[in-house]
Amino acid sequence: MGADNASPAGRHNPLAAEPQSGLWFGKTDDLWQFGKPAGWGGPWWKQPVQAGQPSDPYLMTGFNRKVLHLAHEAQRAVALAVEVDFLGDGTWKGYETFRLPAGGYVHHEFPAGFSAHWLRVTADADCTATAYLHYT
């Protein structure tokens, strides 16, 4: 495992400006010593989307808690349909459709223990939208 150490995070790095200088070698099981995985990201960030066109799938497995943030910049109400693929085999199931008012925002906390491999979002109108997740 390596990192681009040109940007020190939290500590002074005497090897700054030497990309991939922080190599770590270990067994897969050693990764759990780093703690539980956490992360953030999503298929859309203030991105122009077309009505009826699903987002790229976004990974959501391996995290205990999951929060989805949805927003759009349209001057009218927009429905954002969330689908999930539970088995990772390309079979999509409707999860929930969120109806946001003009320029609206909503966040959704998935139930504890909710487990699906992938998530995707589809808007019912052309707009600029955000679908972003926080995982802990």
Per-block mean pLDDT, blocks of 10 residues, the chain (136 long): 56 57 77 82 97 97 92 98 97 98 97 93 98 94
Which pair of tokens denotes residue 133?
Answer: 């997740």
Q: How far apart are CA 106 and CA 37, in angstroms?
A: 25
Q: Are residues 49 and 91 in the same domain?
A: yes
- Supply the CATH number for residue 128's domain: 2.60.120.230
- Domain of residue 23 covers 1-34
DSSP tag of 78: E
Q: Are residues 106 and 45 in the same domain?
A: yes
Q: Are residues 57 and 98 in the same domain?
A: yes
Q: Are residues 58 and 124 in the same domain?
A: yes
Phi, psi (rounded to 5 degrees) for 29: -60, -25
Please give the C-alpha separations between residue 105 and each of 37, 39, 69, 82, 108, in angstroms, as whole numbers. Answer: 27, 21, 7, 15, 10
In this prediction the pTM is 0.77
- pLDDT at res. 92: 98
Q: Are residues 52 and 17 in the same domain?
A: no
